[in-house]
Amino acid sequence: MREFSTPLDIEVPATGNLTDDVVANAREAGDAVVFSRPRDEAWEDVTAAAFLAEVRSVAKGLVAAGVEAGDRVALISKTRYEWTLLDYAIWFAGAVTVPIYETSSAEQVRHILRDSGARAVAAESAEHVARVAQVRGDLPDLHHVWSIADNAVDVLTRLGEDVPDDELEARRTTATPLDLATVIYTSGTTGLPKGCMLTHGNFMFELGVAVEELDVLFHEDSSTLLFLPLAHVFARVIQVGCVKARVRMGHSADIKSLLDDLQTFRPTFILAVPRVFEKVFNTASQRATADGRGRIFDRAADTAIAYSRALDKGRAGIVLRARHALFGRLVYGRLLTALGGHCEYALSGGAPLGDRLGHFYRGIGLTVLEGYGLTETTAALTVNLPDAQKVGTVGRPLPGTAVRVADDGELLFRGGQVFSGYWRSEEGTAEALTRDDWLHTGDVGEVDDEGFVRITGRKKEILVTAGGKNVAPAVLEDRLRAHALVDQCIVVGDGQPFIAALVTIDEESFPAWAAQHGKTGTVADLVDDPDLRAAVEEAVEEANRAVSKAESIRKFAILPVSWTEEDGQLTPSLKLKRNVVMREFRDDVAALYLP
């Protein structure tokens, strides 16, 4: 099938902007709890009316500081309540939010602030302020820097005390669906990030259809705890959706406290990237093995997967149902309790999840709805729905969205959520968008007869071996990372006689494995250890089952280091920067092909 579209079944507003949701919430349900914020080791509720009052106060401060309609205001912070508060305050002031990952280097901060022409920055910590100060000499447009940790909200509130309500209302209602809401710089796996221009209308279209389609998630009795970076479009669109649907939302900035936060917040749904779901599974497996319950966990996992697969065929048999019920008491319940005990759904995006993990989680009682989208598409283009799901796919196009498979296998999309172009880059925009508004995604995939989309690789990452075989590395890499001991990996072989891989070891799983096998020392000490290599060999063999012999990994090397976001090998959404890894580890790649 070359093209598939889903008709638009709602009316998308032709007027207004994203601030209307905040005003409507306060007017129609002022006492409804729309946020819970951490305060003194507890969650403090914030009502719709209170949130509107805070947003207005901060927005007045921005107006008083000289921020004009259309000005860009940058936000650099971890995921926290003030991020959302400032985001909406910027929109109330008629301005445009420019999010920056809190892990961004000073050079990245300089590029984004300079390229966007940001007039002001709200930075979380003294460290973030220092990064801005380090490059401020190159930023002639930057007039203000406020520190969230140093009471930016209070400072702006006091600054705006004399701004009249009618002046702010005039500013708030300035933007239309055609006006910019945000410029999000793609973290990118190659080159300098480009600013994606997303309008209020892009968000209004995206959330108009997504909230309607995912009504089991977005209703007034549901809740979610955000822990992904809000600088990423995935978390950002959930934020806007929660405000629109009056879903209680919390923020968790520290991964170390995430499990405790989940226990006390008790969300009904969460969102995460596939690496998080892999980590949860692998950690549970390792802990079970360390406690002498490894075989039980493995049987429970196999049962969950079999049970989920049986659901696709109609119904599980009586023996499988009985076994599933037993493991529900012994294993599955503990995993669900770790998420707070109320979580029934999870949204996954950013990279392929893999059908094995998808079936495992659905089998234990947590349905993972995998979707697909880009920064350029205001997040989701396709998504699996509770009543229309195919595990292993990224779902069907959302209403009003069309997908086309080009002759070379690239996926093209068109819809109201597709961006208007790259900031100050006509050349980049022309490369991404056709004249009739089809977006080139750079991803290769296929569409089945029912419209379900499957991603098979990246167009630019296709390897061509010396023998002329085309190989999509993503399939092998996703399966390799599913192993508890594997942290990251890169599959190589472009122009080479065979496919090979570099593998890094998971530092959290390694100590338990080492103790079980009587090993001492670090990963660096054991990269050539036969038992460690045998364990990774199992992961390689499992990955190779997904491909033909010509596409299979013939050789691998274990590296004594880790690839991290801090060191520049991973993006903030934990995607591998292939060009960086290939440059920094070219000698290790070359060694794979030595006689």
pLDDT for position 545: 87
Contacts of 557 (CB under 8 A, 6+ apart): 500, 501, 502, 503, 527, 588, 591, 592
Residue type present at position 283: T
Alpha carbons 434 and 141: distance in angstroms, whole number: 33
Segments in the chain below pLDDT 50? 189-190
Alpha carbons 447 and 455: distance in angstroms, whole number: 9
Yes or no: say if 420 and 431 are a contact pair by the CB < 8 Å rule: no
CATH architecture group of domain 462-592: 2-Layer Sandwich (3.30)
Cα 296 to chain centroid, rounded: 32
Alpha carbons 157 and 61: distance in angstroms, whole number: 5
Q: CATH classification of 18-175+218-262 is 3.40.50.12780, yes or no?
A: yes
Alpha carbons 114 and 411: distance in angstroms, whole number: 33
CA distances from 424 to 70, 97, 208, 369 (A): 15, 16, 28, 35
Edge-to-edge strands of the sheet including 345-348?
A: 42-47, 33-39, 248-251, 223-226, 269-272, 345-348, 367-374, 379-383, 396-397
Alpha carbons 453 and 383: distance in angstroms, whole number: 9
DSSP β-ladder status, 33-39 and 379-383: unpaired
Alpha carbons 230 and 207: distance in angstroms, whole number: 16
The two structure tokens encoding residue 425 = 């880059």
Q: Cα-Cα-Cα-Cα dihedral of 27, 33, 38, 44, to 10°?
A: 100
β-bridge mates for residue 304, sequence order: none
Burial category of 580 from C-beta neighbours within 10 Å (exposed 0-12, middle 13-18, buried 19 and up): middle
The two structure tokens encoding residue 515 = 């103790």
Question: How many other C-beta atoms are found inside a 10 Å radius of the C-beta of residue 537?
Answer: 13
Helix, strand, coil % over all residues of the chain, rounded to 5: 40, 25, 35
pLDDT for position 585: 95
pLDDT for position 188: 53
Question: How many other C-beta atoms are found inside a 10 Å radius of the C-beta of residue 334?
Answer: 13
Residue type present at position 135: V
423, 439, 381, 414: which is closest to 181 by C-alpha? 423
With b for 16 or more beta-carbon neighbours within 10 A and e for fewer, the 207-231 pattern comes to bbbbbebbebbbeeebbbbbbbbbb
Alpha carbons 239 and 237: distance in angstroms, whole number: 5
The two structure tokens encoding residue 100 = 């920056």
pLDDT for position 184: 97
Topology agreement, domain 274-459 and domain 462-592: no
pLDDT for position 1: 57
Q: How does DSSP assign 61-124, residue by residue?
A: HHHHTTPPTT-EEEEE--S-HHHHHHHHHHHHTT-EEEEE-TT--HHHHHHHHHHHT-SEEEES
Give the global pTM. Answer: 0.86
Q: Cα-Cα-Cα-Cα dihedral of 325, 329, 330, 334, to 10°?
A: 130
pLDDT for position 412: 97
Alpha carbons 487 and 472: distance in angstroms, whole number: 20
321, 372, 367: which is closest to 351 by C-alpha? 372
Q: CATH classification of 274-459 is 3.40.50.12780, yes or no?
A: yes
Tell me the angle at which helices 200-213 and 233-245 cross, rounded to the nearest 10 degrees: 70
155, 203, 168, 200: which is closest to 53 by C-alpha? 168
231, 282, 222: which is closest to 250 by C-alpha? 222
Alpha carbons 79 and 257: distance in angstroms, whole number: 13
Yes or no: say if 379 and 373 are a contact pair by the CB < 8 Å rule: yes
Residues written for the chain: 595
Alpha carbons 310 and 324: distance in angstroms, whole number: 12
Domain boundaries, the chain: 18-175+218-262, 274-459, 462-592
Helix intervals (H) in 434-520: 473-481, 510-516
Alpha carbons 355 and 248: distance in angstroms, whole number: 30
